[in-house]
Amino acid sequence: MSNPNYNPFDNARAQFDHAADLLDLDQSTRDLLRQHRQEIHFTLPVKMDDGTTKIFKAFRMIHNDARGPAKGGIRFHPNETVDTVRALSMWMTWKCAVVDIPLGGAKGGIICDPRTMSLNEQERLCRAYIRRLHSMVGRHTDVPAPDVMTNGQHMMWILDEYETITGQRTPGMITGKPVGLGGSLGRTEATGFGVVFCLRECLKVLDINMYKTTASIQGFGNVAEYTARKYTELGGRVICVSCWNAADKVAYTFRKLDGCDPAELASIKDSYGSIDKEKAIALGYEVLPGDAWLSEDVDILIPAALENQITPDVFPQISKQVKIICEAANGPTTPDCDPLIQEAGIMLIPDFLSNAGGVTCSYFEQVQGNMNYYWSKQEVLDKLEVVMDNAFHNVFDLAQKKNIYMRDAAYMVAIERVVNAVKTRGWV
């Protein structure tokens, strides 16, 4: 679970404030970008299968849309908070800007646990959500997508309800849809593959052969799985994977020193990324405590689960062998831990750069949906690779030029692009 001692929105604003100081931003621009342009809080009464009505709390936040329509996923999680959604929407603004796609930042969430709900209950919840938001979202304003515990089926229920209300066919109003119903080929792999494209370029500039590297991954949802698949395909060796076990309600680390098989692990996980412990043992995996992924003697740590996982309290557990922390999750490292990472000489690939492959491919899906013309999978992945490679080198080059931390460089690149947009529009 996320560390409750840290507020993600406080973290996001602290990171922004630090970058704003480096950029010497004026006060009015700081005030604009520290706040959200729009926040919507609402409740959703939903009829459950047993005949009772349950009230769910929901959110939709737009941080900034100066560079284009707002973009951001919808999360279903029992521990969702308003400040998590606020932080994620702000990070989406920087994420879109750092890879230079013409979108702004948004995020949505519903406090619920889909693991305990039937499909009919989930469908009614999705339709209720968009009924409240239909006048505020759309391909030219705010484009939702899947996020934690949501998927293509949820997006299709939302799209269907939206089109029923508006009387139009608008597949570009939401992304993450199934292929054949307006979804893009390559979207399933995009975030994880984008992580590895950044990691590959990082290893190149550090003159490290990927074939000689090992990695430890936290999480085994979609992002972690495809990160592991691509990293292994390119010659790396995943030593262990840590993830939440739904049956035991505790996290475990699954280790195989001669290398985990991502396809094998994917065959024994559920739709929420929970690996079956007994099946893993039968396949020869050691089962260790959930935090053991941090202390493995590997070259690369890839946090790909929840925010606030790498803190000053746990940093001493990290092996001296670690050379790179590649943030596949949103906000996995707390701001007070960044100085420790710098002092240790560990290269960090910041989250909103590393995991921007997902929103990049979502943008591709949005473009294809608006054109009603779809690209081949290879074309999508080729375009994604170009975007991610260029984004990494833009950030790395600035970090080298100014001799600054990679997270600082990424924020400077992203924030400067958003500042240019808001100033050109005359907002400040």
Same domain, 102 and 212: no
- What pLDDT band is residue 239 in, cutting at 50, 70 and 90? very high
Please give the biggest Cα pair distance in the chain: 63
Confidence (pLDDT) at 62: 98
Please compute the mean of the pLDDT values over residues 31-50 and round it to a whole number.
97
Residue 399 belongs to some domain of the structure? no
Q: How many structural domains is the chain composed of?
A: 2
- What pLDDT band is residue 245 in, cutting at 50, 70 and 90? confident
Find out whether 214 and 299 touch, Cβ atoms under 8 Å.
Answer: yes
Confidence (pLDDT) at 2: 53
- What pLDDT band is residue 146 in, cutting at 50, 70 and 90? very high
Same domain, 217 and 115: no
- Last residue of a domain, which of 354, 378, 397? 354
Size of the chain, expressed as the number of residues it contains = 428
Please compute the mean of the pLDDT values over residues 103-131 and round it to a whole number.
97
Confidence (pLDDT) at 3: 60
- Last residue of a domain, which of 137, 171, 205? 171
Residue 280 belongs to some domain of the structure? yes
Same domain, 292 and 151: no
Residue 407 belongs to some domain of the structure? no
366-386 pLDDT, tens digit each:
999 999 999 999 999 999 999
Same domain, 205 and 109: no
- What pLDDT band is residue 1 in, cutting at 50, 70 and 90? very low
Question: Is pLDDT of 113 > 70?
Answer: yes
Element (H, E) at 243: strand 237-245
Rounded-to-integer distance, Cα 364 and Cα 186, Å? 10
What percentage of residues in the chain have a pLDDT greater than 90? Answer: 92
Rounded-to-integer distance, Cα 87 and Cα 352, Å? 12
Same domain, 257 and 227: yes
Same domain, 53 and 164: yes
CATH assignment at residue 133: 3.40.50.10860
Residue 104 belongs to some domain of the structure? yes
Quote the DSSP letter at residue 315: G
Confidence (pLDDT) at 4: 65
Same domain, 196 and 317: yes
262-273 pLDDT, tens digit each:
999 999 998 778
Same domain, 211 and 318: yes
Q: Which domain holds residue 344?
A: 189-354
- Last residue of a domain, which of 171, 206, 240? 171
Find out whether 105 and 95 touch, Cβ atoms under 8 Å.
Answer: yes
Residue 83 belongs to some domain of the structure? yes
Q: State how far the alpha carbon of 41 is from the alpha carbons of 45, 110, 111, 384, in Å.
A: 14, 10, 12, 34
Helix 8-23 to helix 406-424 angle (10° resolution) is 80
Indicate which residues carry an active-site annotation.
107
Same domain, 135 and 165: yes
What percentage of residues in the chain have a pLDDT greater than 70? Answer: 99
Sheet holding 250-255, edge to edge: 286-289, 250-255, 237-245, 214-218, 300-303, 324-326, 347-349
Question: Is pLDDT of 303 > 90?
Answer: yes
Angle of CA points 365, 157, 193, to nearest 5°: 35
Rounded-to-integer distance, Cα 369 and Cα 216, Å? 37
Confidence (pLDDT) at 307: 81
Question: Is pLDDT of 108 > 90?
Answer: yes
- What pLDDT band is residue 52 in, cutting at 50, 70 and 90? very high
Same domain, 39 and 155: yes
Same domain, 166 and 198: no
Confidence (pLDDT) at 60: 98
Please compute the mean of the pLDDT values over residues 402-420 and round it to a whole number.
97
- What pLDDT band is residue 11 in, cutting at 50, 70 and 90? confident
Confidence (pLDDT) at 362: 96
Confidence (pLDDT) at 306: 82
CATH assignment at residue 334: 3.40.50.720
Rounded-to-integer distance, Cα 278 and Cα 249, Å? 14
Residue 238 belongs to some domain of the structure? yes
Residue 5 belongs to some domain of the structure? no
Same domain, 153 and 204: no
